[in-house]
Amino acid sequence: MDGTSRVKTALAEGKRVALGVWQLLPGSNLARILARAGYDWVLVDCEHGNIDDAAMHESVAAVAGYGVSPIVRTESKTAMSSLTVAASRFPPQGRRGFGSPFAMDRFAVGLTASQYLAQANATLLLAVPIETREALDAADAIAAVDGLDLLFVGPFDLGNSIGHPVLNGVIDAVLEEAIEKVLRAAHAAGQKAGIYCGDGAQAKHYAEMGFDLVNVQTDVGALSASLTRELATVAGTGASTPGSRGPYGS
């Protein structure tokens, strides 16, 4: 840990989109494979996958060991507020308690507690998911919360919430406008905007739209697509790889 964060550096410079991959399956060896793939960040999903707290800590350490930014997706139960921001940062910027003696060892060998505390606030990325009609309607207010870094769109849940679900991998015009609304709200407030995508083609579309942080694939999606593709190749069936244009595939 040297006072920098790969994903925050990319976002601050604004020269390219910060691209990431989603980890749904537990395992530090899997996390290392994802971290070696060339992405800026790996999100360890503790909501949708079967990754528990212990497995999350192991994956975070594995990802950080490659200089890639680990992001942890926790289950959302509270609305974004100034109290949420304060709870995520150490004093004087917040009120987060310093309780773990292991956090600094996740990022560098020999990093002292004082060094970790001096750098932690600057390298932390705080993102809020926009996945419901309520969050969509409050996008401008959420983006205005001081200390927030990024609004992150979850198209699958957002589409379900507003009555325009992703079907067969297709994002319809109403959901697309909702996605653009979040992008506009974030940028109008000087914040960054991110989005979950199911594959490279979809990721390219939203990167070109102006999103600053984009998920490209999941471990599950990549594994499934690769196995299906290679089986079709050796069997000579010419079967196409199942699409994954929606957040969770077709």
Write down the catalytic residue from 48, 57, 187, 205. 48
Q: How far apart are CA 104 and CA 101, in angstroms?
A: 7
- Per DSSP, 167 falls in state B
Distance between CA atoms of 117 and 98, rounded to whole angstroms?
9
Contact call for residues 160 and 111 (beta carbons, < 8 A)? no
Both tokens of 135, joined, read: 């969050």
Interior/surface letters 189-218, b for 16+ CB within 10 angstroms, e for the rest = bebbbbbbbbbeebbebbbeeebbbbbbbb
187 is a catalytic site residue: no
Catalytic residues: 48
